Amino acid sequence: MNGYSTSRAFLEALHEGGVRYVFANLGSDHPGLVEAYARARADGTLGELPELVICPHESVAMSAAHGYAQVTGVPQAVVVHVECGTQNIGGMLHNAAKGRVGVLLYAGASPFTQEGELPGSRNEFIQWIQDVHDQRGIVRGYTKYDNEIRTGHNVKQLVHRALQLARSEPAGPVYLVGPREVMESPAPEQHADPAFYGAIAPSALAPEVVERIGDALAGARNPVAVTSYLGRDPEAVPALVELCETLALPVLESVPMHVNFPGDHPLHWGYQWNEQRDNPLLAAADVVLVLGSDVPWIPVKNRPSRDARLFVVDVDPLKEQMPLWHVAAECFARADLRTAVGQLTAYVRDRVDADVVADRMARAAAEHHRQVRAQVERERPDGDVITPEYLVACVREAIDENTIVLTEAITSYPVVSEHLRRSRPGSLIGSGGGSLGWSAGAAIGVKLAAPERTVVSLIGDGSYLFGVPSSAQWVARRYGTPSLTVIFDNRGWKAPKMSTLGVHPDGVAAQRSDFPVGFEPEADLPGIAEAAGGAWGRTVRVADELKGVLAEALDVVRAGRSAVVSVHVPPA
């Protein structure tokens, strides 16, 4: 069969399915893949396979695929080494699952023969050590689909099915494993038409659901929409703007990881995170429409009135992978958000009272402008001390709307949302999950997906270290994906401190300021990137240096070299 193997068919299927990049951390289970790429280079068919991107750490590979898919909507592939490599992507797999991002993860498996019975039989000691009872079980709580490649005769069918599931809403990661003997074995040349493995078509609201929600919105006095990830689909954002302008419907963004509604729009009513206070705007609403949100509010901190009518529209309205979750809504509807919002706009357009809408628009705009004025007042340094608000304001002034900003600032998440105030759909993204370190690899994937755009990451010092910056910066240098990383360097983990204060506000830790969260002695964070990836690095400690350093760093990035700026903010 002229060297045509299961490995070759597997790689061809990825390419046919729209996978442009395989982000790989190779091991002893991948000789078939290595040989397939070598043969393709030798016979001039490399264009029939995805491009191989070598990543010295698995988490960088996984988050790079994640970032690429967030920009393009097209799942990419990650290749890791048996169960060890699978476990090493655990946190980033969580992010892809919770962020509903399609990624195809492939791992080899220890050979199942040990006496040389088949090509690929065991010949290294680790292949006994790495043989586990249920390798696929490691990821089953986070993947939409898992399977084992048992023969080259149907490998393309398995790959295309996996990609179909990965991209169908709610999107998410999928997992395939392939024992070495199978991946080394000859396979019949085959063709699988990806046109027959398309994602599920967008679903719409049933007519009676449109009528029920539409009538409630049209008749409301103080309605509000709450969203967290409607902006996963950038085209859903202008659709939501149209609905909101039709009704004068204000929008609250709750723990947003995307631009869900333009930050400069007069109907934008701000952001909710972990603030230990009520949100009076939410509490005063008589109708609340939740459009794509896992945590629309935190019940012990803020919630709608018990008399408010609640409606949930989502691709995942019941959060089937969350054991404990409930919103006291009278209607839960599964639908594509862009489609559903368009249906509601068409229904309410001729059912609204123009005077009521005009009055509500004036009140909403006044609230929006009040919030912005208050935010602007905080955008100043405290003497020489750089506040997070001032840092974000300086970044906002230094970049343009075309820049893609990655946010992984954790305790400064609210500051990034409020003071960056992004308005272009797709220009701000977060991981969608809770495992730190996503931005380091995601910046690589985002830049590969949008090479013409500037990429800037706003992250905490803890997030930076979790991201394996030595590996990520090396990959960025090798594959020409420069980006700017701006670190909120508070020399510690502020999040555990805030969590402790939230539970024990008057405890001994609070009274004695006894929080084991400091990063002393201070690490040279930019120095890691300089050493590993040839990046340009600076540490900024005083406010009057900040704007100049940011401008210089952006010039460096636009010239083709990554830059890392560590900015001292008040300590954790």
**Residue 344 to residues 301, 309, 440: CA-CA distances in angstroms?**
30, 16, 39
The confidence score (pLDDT) of residue 434 equals: 94
What is the sign, positive or negative, of the torsion defined by CA atoms of 53, 14, 432, 72?
Answer: positive
Instruction: For 272-331, give the secondary structure using H, E and C.
Output: ECCCCCCCHHHHCCCEEEEECCCCCCCCCCCCCCCCCEEEEEECCCCCCCCCCCCCCCCE
Q: What is the pLDDT of residue 467?
A: 96
Looking at residue 292, its pLDDT comes to: 97
Residue 3 has a pLDDT of: 83
- Name the DSSP class of 480: T
> Which token pair is 81?
């080494």
Structure token pair of residue 439: 């931005």
pLDDT of residue 1: 45
Q: Structure pTM?
A: 0.95
pLDDT along the chain (572 residues), means of 10: 87 97 95 96 96 97 98 98 96 97 96 93 92 95 97 96 97 97 94 91 98 97 97 98 98 97 97 87 96 95 93 97 95 98 97 95 96 96 96 98 96 95 97 97 98 98 95 98 97 80 85 81 93 97 97 98 97 84
Which pLDDT belongs to residue 2?
A: 67
How far is residue 234's CA from residue 422's CA, in Å, rounded to a whole number?
A: 13
Dihedral sign for Cα 53, 58, 62, 64, please.
negative
Token pair 């969203």 is at which residue?
A: 227
Whole-angstrom Cα Rg for the chain: 25
Alpha-carbon gap, residue 563 to 552, rounded angstroms: 9
Q: Edge-to-edge strands of the sheet including 103-109?
A: 51-54, 21-24, 76-80, 103-109, 174-179, 145-148
Mapped onto helix, strand or coil, the DSSP state of residue 448 is helix
pLDDT, residue 362, reads 97
